[in-house]
Structure 1
Amino acid sequence: MTALWPAAEQDALRAGAIRWLAARTNDGLDALTSEEIGEFTFGGVSFRLMDPQRGIRKPRQFTAALSIRTTYRPEGAERPYEDDMGPDGLVRYKWRGDAPNHPENRALREAMIHRAPLIWFWGVGQALYKPVFPVYLIAEEEAQQQFVVATDGLQHLQQTTSPMEEVLRRYLRQETYRRLHQPVFRSMIMRAYESSCAVCQLRHSPLLDAAHIVEDRHERGIASVRNGLALCKIHHAAYDVGILGLTPELRVEVRADILGEVDGPLLEHGIKKLHGRPLMVVPRRRADRPDPDLLQIHYERFRAS
């Protein structure tokens, strides 16, 4: 039987894993394959951060869970466990099975009690995961068989009955999207577009964004691959402010007044010469390609501008 590590050594591994993931993911921007995640070492020895079969990783040397995993779900498919956001703006992570004393549920409970930082591996493709770190379990909802998950900096914020509760709830929801859902959305888009700008083919990850075709506050603005484009920061900004549009047939258009403007080489070659050209990068899988109806919504707004 493997002996438990001292608490300080367990803490050191958690901190080392988070530093390693930050370096390997470009400070959280990029997703990693299962094989890449398996390259982590601690003290020169290989150490598994994610369980290949189970959703919850509790090393034998640890008193509490180290990581949790959400499996990849293609469009229209269901996951075996559905993790979702609650009315308080925080995400839920389901128990393993329905037995509260299942060893993996006990491991999560230990992480909650001791406020241990966890890594959440969120599936964004086959054997491709977006690591989100650190996250904390701050409560357990036994009736719903789930734990409440908070991102760093939110774990000590508690719900109250004060008039500020709705403000707090909105803040928590915004922060959860910023720390969890938006990075996952970005990783899904980068996978579909092979980390290339759809308009100009730029392939430098730090200069790429996952752009919504229809903004997330729109009733149809879900964080789905079909509602996204991989765009470099310049073309993302141009798309958002209506300088650059995209037809439902995936052809780029530039606003008429910009076409008549005389400026430096960036405007001439980086914007104006795109007019009338098809997208340079389109997802290989048809299921990942932009939704024509969503493109039409944005294109009509572009034309009206």
Structure 2
Amino acid sequence: MTFVGGRDGDWEDRAREAAFQWLDEHSDDEHPLFERADLASWTFEGKRIALIDRQRGIRKPAEFRAALSIMTTFTPPGQTPPYEDAAGDDGLLRYKYRGKDAAHPENRALRNAMAEHVPLIWFTAVEPGRYLAVRPVWIVDDNPRELEFSIAVDSAQYALARAGTLSDERSYAERLTQQRLHQPLFRARVLSVYHSECAICHLNHAGLLDAAHIIEDGKPNGLPVVPNGLSMCKIHHAAYDRNIIGVRPDAVVEVRTDILHEIDGPMLKYGIQQMHGARLTLPGTRAARPDPERLEARYEEFRSAVA
């Protein structure tokens, strides 16, 4: 039997599994974020085991052999989140070492997680002290020369990495990263600055809200950053994407002319047509508001569709 800090390895496995289960039970589309205080006070079998470290990005409880979680700090609106520049040629994300010493205990803890094939949690700050928990993620490679680890954020990525076929599947790996990390973080950041309210109709049920891209993902300037996003209910998001509604550069909503004259049920009348001329409710922080250049470019697409 393998002992870890005076406890057997099975205890560590059970504690890790319990942590994942607790995160699953305490988050959903309506409430996706965790408070630092709650993460720091988590307990297992009567013992407090903080899931996140106050000062450091890599968390390895004293009783554990391998790291339990990693953390990315808060990025203010308008700035590019660190993960945007962290993808390697294989499509996997990179996570930097603690300092420049490969033998630092925290770096060894991530190396142990890789060797033992155990999953971790990636906490990313959406607001100061509030985190989205991306899980499970796996350490799949170690690059001392660049002082970084490679991370798979999806089980399919992990399988490709272990099979050594990532170089042939980069576009697929990047798409998985988009789905598992970028999209959830983009949604969480945008809904946060809009206080979980649709910018058009003020619906404030987070489970019914999306983060709508102003410039489509994959296009130039289509980054998943807050100034390229609008908080919209699912109806208005779909209408925006299909050019049924547009948003002028001055943040005023327009409804396509043919839709304005269409006769249908109450959803069209009250949910779409009556939004014509409405002004978006925008974040109070200037850096979090929609980028005017992006709005203008997207509005020209809408006008072309109307014409």
Shift of 1:78: 8.4
Where 1:143 maps in the other structure, the secondary structure is coil
Q: Which residue of 2 aligns with 1:124?
A: 126
Shift of 1:35: 2.4
Asked whether 1:235 is paired with 2:236, we answer yes
- 1:131-163: CA deviation from partner (whole Å, max 9, x where unpaired): 10000001111111110000231212139898x
Asked whether 1:155 is paired with 2:163, we answer no
Shift of 1:38: 3.1
Pair 124,298 (structure 1): closer, same or farther in 2 beyond 3 Å? same
Cα distance in 2, alignment partners of residues 262 and 253 from structure 1: 17
Pair 130,114 (structure 1): closer, same or farther in 2 beyond 3 Å? same
Counterparts of residues 36-115 of structure 1 (less than 5 Å): 36-75=38-77, 84-115=86-117
Number of paired residues?
A: 301
State the one-letter code of the partner of 1:276: G
Shift of 1:230: 0.9
Pair 46,202 (structure 1): closer, same or farther in 2 beyond 3 Å? farther
Q: Which residue of 1 aligns with 2:251?
A: 250
Pair 295,4 (structure 1): closer, same or farther in 2 beyond 3 Å? farther
Q: Which residue of 2 aligns with 1:203?
A: 204
Shift of 1:64: 0.6
- Contact between 1:82 and 1:94, CA under 8 Å: does it hold in 2? no
- Contact between 2:142 and 2:150, CA under 8 Å: does it hold in 1? yes
Shift of 1:106: 0.5
Pair 77,245 (structure 1): closer, same or farther in 2 beyond 3 Å? closer
Pair 270,75 (structure 1): closer, same or farther in 2 beyond 3 Å? closer
Cα distance in 2, alignment partners of residues 28 and 64 from structure 1: 32
Q: TM-score, normalised on structure 1?
A: 0.92
Cα distance in 1, alignment partners of residues 162 and 49 from structure 2: 37
Pair 150,223 (structure 1): closer, same or farther in 2 beyond 3 Å? same
Pair 80,288 (structure 1): closer, same or farther in 2 beyond 3 Å? closer
Pair 6,83 (structure 1): closer, same or farther in 2 beyond 3 Å? farther
Where 2:277 maps in the other structure, the secondary structure is coil
Cα distance in 2, alignment partners of residues 76 and 291 from structure 1: 9
Shift of 1:46: 3.5
Shift of 1:182: 1.2
Cα distance in 1, alignment partners of residues 127 and 203 from structure 2: 22
Q: TM-score, normalised on structure 2?
A: 0.92
Cα distance in 2, alignment partners of residues 73 and 210 from structure 1: 17
Q: Which residue of 2 aligns with 1:177?
A: 178
Cα distance in 1, alignment partners of residues 82 and 211 from structure 2: 27
Cα distance in 1, alignment partners of residues 302 and 79 from structure 2: 33
Q: Which residue of 2 aligns with 1:138?
A: 140
Q: Which moved more, 1:148-157 or 1:100-109?
A: 148-157
State the one-letter code of the partner of 1:138: V
Cα distance in 2, alignment partners of residues 134 and 109 from structure 1: 16
State the one-letter code of the partner of 1:8: D
Q: Which residue of 1 aligns with 2:190?
A: 189
Q: Which runs of at least 4 in structure 1 moved beyond 4 Å after TM superposition?
A: 75-83, 159-162
The percentage of aligned residue pairs carrying the same residue is: 46
Cα distance in 1, alignment partners of residues 46 and 197 from structure 2: 35
Shift of 1:7: 1.6
Shift of 1:194: 0.8
Shift of 1:114: 0.5
Shift of 1:28: 9.5
Where 1:130 maps in the other structure, the secondary structure is strand
- 1:15-55: CA deviation from partner (whole Å, max 9, x where unpaired): 12112212222069722221232353322443310001110
RMSD: 2.3
In the alignment, which of 5, 8, 11 is matched to residue 7 of structure 2?
Answer: 5
- Structure 1, unaligned stretches of length 5 or more? none
Asked whether 1:263 is paired with 2:277, we answer no
Q: Which residue of 2 aligns with 1:283?
A: 283
